[in-house]
Amino acid sequence: MSSTERPEVVVVTGAAAGLGRAVAQAFGKRGAHVGLVARGRDGLEGAKREIESYGGKGLVLPTDVAVPDQVEAAAAATEEAFGPIDVWVNVAMASVFSPIKEMTPDDYKRVTEVTYLGYVYGTLSALRRMLPRDRGTIVQVGSALAYRGIPLQSAYCAAKHAIQGFMDSLYCELIHDGSNVYVTMVQMPALNTPQFDWVKSRLPRHPQPVPPIFQPEVGAEAVYWAAHHRRRELYVGWPTVKAIVGNKIAPGFADWYLARTGYEAQQTDERVDPNRPNNLYEPLPGDWGAHGSFDDRSKPTSIQLWLDMHRGTIAAAGAALAAGALGFLVRQRM
């Protein structure tokens, strides 16, 4: 950013911890001014300190994304403090690890309000500001589970599927209107975030992300890239590609495979107290940071993501090599 350019203004929901925290860090490292939206003030204050240590600015906005008036107030406060919002990133989520037969109506209601409607409310607040200016970017953090549901996470999977359908409608409407507002969805793999230490769970053992696991910074860099490149959708990690494409080809096989492996893959060997505190309705105290408890098993990079982000350059290089080889063969025959 040159001295004559204004800093990028960004809103990140779920910014107190996990992937949202890593996304806020990624923008802060580039000097952005970031509206930090989440319920937990301790984590928001930690995110603000990090961003300002990088040279950006942070604004702490304690908000429950399930309440549309609070989301709208956070958007207004961000613009009052920093100016027009350039990028809005929806990350906030809630989940319940449980077989469907043990779920309650309130479980489904709360997860849907946060993980689906929270995205809708954030998108509406962003559009109210971006459409009249005819510019801006909205990034929805999705998941391989937006395409392929798995056992024990039915509420979360359903919410991610709903976001995918919402986005299909939004793409069409923006094209119809000739809008220059850009929207994209980034589909994530399993990430090492603190959610597995605080999520409501009825499982007998400690929940875990389904291996292979990636560090949240991998997802955060994908979000930052997607916010600045015209890509309708971005898949992060080979497991995401495999889950989405494989489900399109053989969904019945995926049902069978997940029935056999999905329960064990989502639990460690550690027993867990079924009454442990969780953050479904209230944030847990403390600053949980971006990383969960699986650092020793998490990948810091994704070759698939790097190749995908550079596919234009790779294709051009491949075309140049092919042209050179063809020219060589032609000369050899002359």
Q: Which residue has the tokens 């969780």?
A: 278
Is-catalytic flag, 156?
A: yes
23 CB neighbour count, 10 Å cutoff: 32
Q: What is the pLDDT of residue 316?
A: 62
Catalytic hit among 147, 156, 224, 235:
156
Q: What is the pLDDT of residue 320?
A: 56
Domains of the chain, residue spans = 9-301
- Ordered per-residue pLDDT tens for the chain, 334 residues: 544 588 999 999 999 999 999 999 999 999 999 999 999 999 999 999 999 999 999 999 999 999 999 999 999 999 999 999 999 999 999 999 999 999 999 999 999 999 999 999 999 999 999 999 999 999 999 999 999 999 999 999 999 999 999 999 999 999 999 999 999 999 999 999 999 999 999 999 999 999 999 999 999 999 999 999 999 999 999 999 999 999 999 999 999 999 999 999 999 999 998 889 999 999 999 999 999 999 999 999 999 999 998 877 676 655 555 555 555 555 666 6
Q: What is the pLDDT of residue 5?
A: 81
Q: SS3 for 91?
A: coil
Distances (CA, A) of 129 to 25, 124, 125, 136, 215: 24, 9, 7, 9, 33
Beta strand 267-271 with 205-207: parallel, antiparallel or unpaired?
antiparallel
Rounded CA separation 322/327 (Å): 9
Q: What is the pLDDT of residue 13?
A: 98
What predicted TM-score, i.e. pTM, was given to this entire model? 0.92
- Domain at 9-301: CATH architecture: 3-Layer(aba) Sandwich (3.40)
DSSP conformation class of 191: B
Distances (CA, A) of 328 to 316, 319, 331: 18, 14, 5
Residue 299: closest CA among 217, 224, 186, 206: 217
Q: What is the pLDDT of residue 3?
A: 43
The b-or-e profile of 50-81 (16+ CB within 10 A means b, else e) is bbeebebbbbbbbbbbbebebbbebbebbeee
Q: What is the pLDDT of residue 183?
A: 98
Q: What is the pLDDT of residue 309?
A: 87
The per-type count for the chain, helices as H runs and strands as E runs, is 12, 13
Q: What is the pLDDT of residue 2?
A: 43
Q: What is the pLDDT of residue 333?
A: 64
Q: What is the pLDDT of residue 275?
A: 87
